[in-house]
Amino acid sequence: MILEKKKAFNSFAAEKGLRSTRQRDIILDIFLSTHQHISVEELYLKIKSSNPGIGHATVYRTLKLFAESGLAREIHLHDGQTRYEHAMEGEHHDHLVCTGCDTIIEFEDETIEKLQREIASRHGFKINNHKMEIYGLCSDCRK
Amino acid sequence: MILEKKKAFNSFAAEKGLRSTRQRDIILDIFLSTHQHISVEELYLKIKSSNPGIGHATVYRTLKLFAESGLAREIHLHDGQTRYEHAMEGEHHDHLVCTGCDTIIEFEDETIEKLQREIASRHGFKINNHKMEIYGLCSDCRK
DNA sequence: TTTGTATTGAAAATGAATATCAAAAGCATA
DNA sequence: TATGCTTTTGATATTCATTTTCAATACAAA
Ligand SMILES: [Mn+2]
Ligand SMILES: [Mn+2]
Ligand SMILES: [Zn+2]
Ligand SMILES: [Zn+2]
């Protein structure tokens, strides 16, 4: 699974004429070892702990590449930081965000997706992507 | 309609013990005269053209107040700027955003809203608010 | 190797939003 | 109307995430 993703990114890089670098390998490894909606800064710190030489800008640049390759998805919740999550071909989900404890629950709802497509086509739009976030309090935080 | 909104904000201000100031009056007037998803900077420039004295910070502060009073709603699309739109009691809508020309189409879909409530309750969440944006190309931009 | 180009990282720059704080304005009271 | 207290304002500085710059370095093709 992780190996497949690495291969996928390598083909993407090859097609784009990108060079293979130590930094990108390291960042990819560490990104793939994380779970769930990690912020750039969080990932940067994680990377730096084992690879002090790697710079801020490189992490930013590389995560953009991952997103472009389809390996990662950029997320914007409302704390002013860009986050990334793993993305797999054809998979999509939305988020239920607890504003109390920052827990994020992922969900999929094909009925909603279908309604979205209908709304878009009714207005002559060709959907590229969408986002849907439901903010509220989880059961723990309501106690 | 505009008058009602002004009254509503004035009662909100009164209840909160806020003073009534020339600046807030002006900003409210101009905000109410605009349409659709204006960015803070756009509004600031509009305001400055007739009222050069008013400062940046005051516009930011005042828009926050409008949102708090329920008069305005804060919007975050993905250009890194906060936008505000008029909000009316109990009204809610979502957005279809053209990434070609920045046109925004508003829509409401009660079926989707209901499904959202179901999803939330299935996970024990109490919804506070939500956002849903569909990004794509409008018919003009696809030509 | 050599050579041309892509990549990197430190540092500076950007841009939106917020904080600071002295001066000005609002308002209750005398 | 004048006084005094408190809020508000606006210039400016600051913060913070992200991007840009650019010289040094690394990659890969020949
Ligand atoms: Mn997710
Ligand atoms: Mn709207
Ligand atoms: Zn919670
Ligand atoms: Zn368009």
Q: Do B115 and A112 touch (CB under 8 A)?
A: yes
A117, containing H or E segment: helix A110-122
Q: Which CATH architecture has domain B2-86?
A: Orthogonal Bundle (1.10)
The CATH number, out of the four listed (3.40.630.30, 3.30.1490.190, 3.40.1230.10, 3.40.50.150), of the domain defined by the range B94-142: 3.30.1490.190
Task: Give helix B22-33 / helix B2-15 axis angle, nearest 10°.
Answer: 140
Q: Where are the domains of chain A?
A: 2-86, 94-142
pLDDT digits (tens, 9 = 90+) for A12-51: 999 999 999 999 999 999 999 999 899 999 999 999 999 9
Closest by Cα among B11, B108, B78 to A115:
B108
Residue linked to tokens 């997320």: A75
Which protein residues have their CB within 5 A of the ion that is ligand 4? Answer: B 98, 100-101, 103, 138, 141
Q: What is the pLDDT of residue A63?
A: 98
Q: Do domains A2-86 and A94-142 have the same CATH topology?
A: no
How much distance in Å is there from the Cα of B104 to the middle of ligand 1? Answer: 25
Q: What is the pLDDT of residues A79-88, one digit of tens each?
A: 899 999 999 8
Tokens representing B6 are: 């002004």
Bridging pattern class, strands A126-137 and B126-137: antiparallel
What percent of chain A has pLDDT above 70? 100
The answer on pLDDT for A1 being more than 90 is no
Name the residue facing B123 among A105, A115, A131 (closest C-beta).
Answer: A105
Taking alpha carbons only, the member of B51, B10, B7, B3 closest to residue B27 is: B51
Q: A65 phi and psi, to 5 degrees? A: -60, -45
How much is the pLDDT for A105?
Answer: 96
Residues of chain B with pLDDT under 50: none
State residue B90's pLDDT score: 86
In this predicted structure, what is the pLDDT of residue B109?
96
B114 CA to D15 C1' distance (Å): 41
| C-beta separation of A38 from A84 below 8 A | yes
* Averaged pLDDT, A113-117: 97
**Nearest-Cα residue of chain B relative to residue A139:** B124
Does the beta-carbon distance from B135 to A132 stay under 8 Å? no
How far is Cα A48 from Cα A55, in angstroms, rounded to an integer?
8
Q: What pLDDT is stored for residue B87 in this prediction?
A: 94
d(CA B98, CA B93): 16
Which of A93, A114, A130, A133 to mutate against chain B (most B CBs within 10 Å)?
Answer: A130
For B72, phi and psi rounded to 5 degrees?
Answer: -130, 160
Instruction: Output DSSP code: residue B75.
Output: E
| pTM value > 0.95 | no
**What's the pLDDT score for residue A140?**
95
Q: Is the pLDDT of residue A90 over 90?
A: no
pLDDT of residue A58: 98
